[in-house]
Chains A and B, each alone.
Chain A
Amino acid sequence: MTAEEQQMVQYILQLIRKPSATIDENAPLVSSGLIDSMALVDLLLKLEDLTHKRIPSGKVQPKDMDTVAKMFATAERVGKPRK
């Protein structure tokens, strides 16, 4: 895992209030019910912070945010330089 992915994992554990749990970069988060749709924006904002990119939400589906690895791949695919 990269340092950014590691930071994302820490953030997610806080978000789901399970600081002592472990998740790897391929663990499903949305499709396993750990993350609900109202928390997707938290992940998106954090992802923008970590990648220093602007991610157009219209180009992102919840399934693109299902694992930490997919989140970073999505940022790579649709992310744009920040204004």
Chain B
Amino acid sequence: MDALHAAPADLPFITAWIDEDESESVTFAEFRQRVRSEAEALRNSGLRTGDRVVIIMPQGIPAMTTFVAAMMMGAVPAFLAYPNFKVEPSKYRSGLQGVTANLGAKAVVIDADFPEQMLSSVSLDHATKLIRAGGNRVAEGLGHSASQAEAAKIDPHSLAFIQHSAGTTGLQKGVALSHGAVLRQIEHLAQSLKIDSATDRVYSWLPLYHDMGLIACFMLPMVCHVPLVMQSPLDWVMRPESMLQIVSQYKCTLAWMPNFAFQFVPRRTPKSRWAEYDLSSLRLLINCSEPVRASSMMEFQTAFAIRSTVLQSSYAMAENVFAVTQSDVDRDPVTIWADGRQFRSAHRLLPVEKEGPGAVSFTSSGRLLTNQHLRIVSDSGAIVGHDCVGEIILQSDCLFEGYYNRSDLTAQAMIDGWYHTGDLGFYRDGELYVVGRKKDLLIVGGENIYPQDIEQIVNRHSAVHDGRVVALGLYNPELGTEDIVVVAELENDGLLAKAAELEAEIRGMIVAGLGIAVRTIFLKPPKWIVKSTAGKAARSATREKILREHPELNAEAQISV
């Protein structure tokens, strides 16, 4: 909060780009003024220091204002994804209810223009108040000194905000972060990126409920006084070319995006227009939040003729506020080649000549930030050798306080002071390579999705054998990200004749429940899914079986361990 107060008044802060004909900008001074006024409004609505508040607003300056206003008055905000028109209001509401109940949230703040017909998605019981942002405003200037005094009292050990890193509201873990942890992360990250507030400008289309959007592309610019040009993820995904327009027009220097975007942008921009864009202002374009693929980055570099040192990578997670590693900003990304068979069978790294037969490549996620310590451990917790794959566990001075109100989940992840990431990787010559996942998580276009959320919905279909559903993420080289594939066992063989109809019904149920479109649904006869000894569907064995039976699903899906 002090950093926001210290920012030069006339410096542009946020430009929210809608399209070629429309955008809105605020300077740091204007943003501060709006934040103060909104903080007063929240206080007038009955919010107090320490209260948790959920913010459900479309991506833009008002949402960011409300978030910082809540922090300024000492409340603990959490962004949640905006209701998606595909999701049934009752499903959204029950997910939201789960989150607000767990947080003991005092209020849900929605935007001033929140559509009346969607109100049923967010109307909860009276324990949680529904507040429209921008309401209850006091005259500008009034209450000014009160909120500044409030801001000055913030204790670095107190909670700054709570991050929910998955876009769906089902199995939500609220990552609780203190003010001190957030600031320490930003300090180390800014140092590693050599941030220069006089010359840098961030571009972002990333959702604010995601750590990459919230920390790298909102908190870091706010604390380091760096201008930011942003658009909504929805506008970007409808026209990824807009990224090129914005970076060219505003001469942005810094951006983060998940791996798939490196090939999505060139492939979804007509080739005839590639040369119209000038991306020479870009200093760093950082591949983060899904496994890094050199081929995806190369595609972007070739299409838009950017310097290879611009392409960088990072490994980050909400539980660590954000970045664990960052590649050296003055160097080309590091890629190594290894024997594919050794890697798959023994999870061991045997370096080989570049692109030799059967070789697989891995691109580094970079070096540890100076406040991070990591170990690579086996299932038994023993530290493995530098050529072995194991779980990445870490310690740092910016780790989370725990999953809010979920000491059970926190205890599973924090063991003897080490945070167990659930990611698999190896650490070689000071570089971290992330190669797979031990935890049950799908990452589609950088977005985290819990397979259990999907499986639970499919299980409800009467033709599906209860408990015999597996949702998997398989790498799709066309898209540069995972495709969601669902395998479900039918109650009896006779139902296979109706497979097309059942598939459409199941697809509809998943979309209505989660807003997610799955790529492929495989309906299989009884006893097809491989079970574990406990009788539960075994994910990895089912994955191997489906890849064996459907080689068209592609070979690359089989590389990760």
Q: Inside 8 A of A45's CB, which chain B residues have their CB?
A: 268, 270
Q: Mark A54-66, 1 if CB is under 8 A from B, else 0.
A: 0011111111000
Number of A residues near B (Cβ < 8 Å) is 22
Do residues A36 and B517 form an inter-chain contact, with CB atoms below 8 A? Answer: yes
Residues from chain B with a CB closer than 8 A to the CB of A57 are 19, 235, 238-239, 242
Residues of B within 8 A of A59 (CB): 19
B554 to chain A, nearest CB (A): 14
Could you say which residues of chain A place their CB within 8 Å of the CB of B517? 30, 33-37
Q: Are B237 and A37 in contact (CB under 8 A)?
A: yes
Whether B85 lies near A33 (C-beta < 8 A) is no
CB-defined contacts of B479 to chain A, threshold 8 Å: 38
B230 CB, nearest partner CB in chain A, Å: 13
Q: For B237, what are the chain A residues with a Cβ–Cβ distance below 8 Å?
A: 37-38, 40-41
Give the bracket for the number of chain B residues in contact with chain A. Answer: 20 to 34
| Min CB–CB distance A5 → chain B (angstroms) | 20
Q: Mark A39-61, 1 if CB is under 8 A from B, else 0.
A: 01110110000000000111111
A23 CB, nearest partner CB in chain B, Å: 11
The answer to whether residues A58 and B86 also contact, given A32-B507, A33-B511 and a CB cut-off of 8 A, is no
B85 surroundings in chain A (CB, below 8 A): 31, 61-63
Bound Cα distance A34, B508 (Å): 9
Q: A32-B511, A41-B239, A44-B238 are in contact. Are A62 and B21 (CB under 8 A)?
A: no
Residue pair A58, B511 in contact (C-beta under 8 Å): no
Known: A30-B86, A38-B445. A58 touches B18 (CB 8 A): yes
What residues on B are CB-neighbors of A62 within 8 Å? Answer: 84-86, 234, 238
Q: Which residues of B contact A35 (CB under 8 A)?
A: 517
Q: Please, which residue of chain A has its CB at the minimum distance from the CB of B504?
A: A32
Q: How far is the CA of A30 from the CA of B516 in the complex (A)?
A: 10
Complex Cα distance, B118 from A63, in Å, reads: 14
Are A33 and B20 interface neighbours, CB within 8 A? no
- B509: nearest chain-A partner, CB-CB: A33
Q: Counting CB contacts under 8 A, is B510 at the interface?
A: yes
CA distance A33 to B509 in the complex (A): 9
CB distance from A44 to the nearest CB of B (A): 6
CB of B22 within 8 A of chain A? yes
Given known pairs A35-B517, A41-B239, the reply for A58 and B507 (CB within 8 Å) is: no
Task: Identify the interface centre among A32, A33, A44: most chain B CB within 10 Å of its CB.
Answer: A33
Inter-chain contacts of B242 with A (CB < 8 A)? 57
**Bound CA–CA A45/B238 (angstroms):** 9
Which of B20, B86, B240, B242 has most A Cβ within 10 Å?
B86
Cβ 8 A contact of A56, one of B19, B234, B504, B507: B19
B235 touches A32 (CB 8 A): no
Per-residue A-contact encoding for B1-30, CB less than 8 Å = 1, 0 else? 000000000000000001111100000000
Distance of A32 Cα from B516 Cα, bound (Å)? 10
Contact status B20-A56, CB under 8 Å:
yes
Encode contact with B along A12-38: 1 for CB under 8 Å, 0 otherwise.
000000000000000000111111111
CA distance A31 to B516 in the complex (A): 9
Are A32 and B240 neighbours in the complex by a CB distance under 8 Å? no
CA distance A38 to B238 in the complex (A): 8
Contacts of A56 in B (CB 8 A): 19-22
* B262 at the binding interface (Cβ < 8 Å): no
- How far is B268's CA from A36's CA once the two chains are assembled, in angstroms? 15
In the complex, what distance in Å separates the CA atom of A60 from the CA atom of B85? Answer: 13
**Cβ < 8 Å to A, chain B residues 188-247:** 231, 234-235, 237-240, 242
For the complex with contacts A31-B86, A33-B507, A57-B238, 16 further pairs of A-B residues with Cβ separation under 8 Å are A32-B508, A33-B517, A34-B507, A36-B517, A36-B519, A37-B234, A37-B517, A38-B260, A38-B264, A41-B238, A41-B239, A44-B239, A56-B20, A62-B85, A62-B238, A63-B85
Return 16 A-B CB contacts under 8 Å, by A number: A31-B86, A31-B512, A32-B507, A32-B511, A33-B507, A34-B507, A35-B517, A36-B516, A36-B517, A38-B264, A41-B237, A41-B238, A56-B20, A57-B19, A58-B18, A58-B235
4 shortest interchain CB distances as A-B pairs: A58-B19, A36-B517, A33-B511, A58-B18
